Structure 1
């Protein structure tokens, strides 16, 4: 499982120019099943994504394809979590990990 932080850079004012493409990128990540949760970091610091079901290289490639990353609107940080314990409803997060 991954937590991805997309923190605004000094180029934050350009966000409006790439918002539609960024939102399409998010929609594709959700549709592909890679993104479980997408939201905003408050107050207006950027965004965060909880992702799973892809290996580190695939996540890095997906994040690099974000128009906000490509245009330096945000700086990405990817944190990988080895899931040890979950609520029963989230067990799939643990079961997806290689033994």
Structure 2
């Protein structure tokens, strides 16, 4: 499992222009079952994505195609997480822990 932090960078002012393309990129990740959760880092510092079911190399390639990353609106930082305990409602996140 991975947490992707997308922190605003030098091209932040381009976010508005690229927002629709970024949202479409996010939706593809959800549609393909890779992204489980996405949201904003507060206060207005960027975004976060929880991803599962891919290798680090696959996720890196996916993140590189985010229009926000391509246009330097954000800098991406991918953190690998190995969950070991979860609330019963999130037990599915413990399955296939290696991905």
TM range (shorter): over 0.9
Task: Give the aligned partner of residue 12 of structure 1.
Answer: 12
Write the deviation string for residues 27-71 of structure 1: whole angstroms up to 9, x where unpaired.
Answer: 111111111111011111000011111111111111111000000
* Counterparts of 1:88 and 1:56, CA distance in 2: 26
Asked whether 1:45 is paired with 2:52, we answer no
Per-residue deviation, 1:96: 1.4
1:92 positional shift: 2.1
How far does residue 8 in structure 1 lie from its aligned partner after superposition?
A: 0.3
SS of alignment partner, residue 84 of structure 1: coil
Q: Does residue 74 in structure 1 map to residue 74 in structure 2?
A: yes
Q: Kindly tell me the number of residue pairs found equivalent between the two proteins.
A: 98
State the match for 1:28 in structure 2. 28
**Distance in 2 of aligned mates of 1:46 and 1:19:** 12
- TM-score, structure 1 as length reference: 0.93
CA RMSD of aligned residues (A): 1.0
What CA distance in whole angstroms lies between the structure 1 residues aligned with 2:70 and 2:12?
13
TM-score normalised per structure 2: 0.93
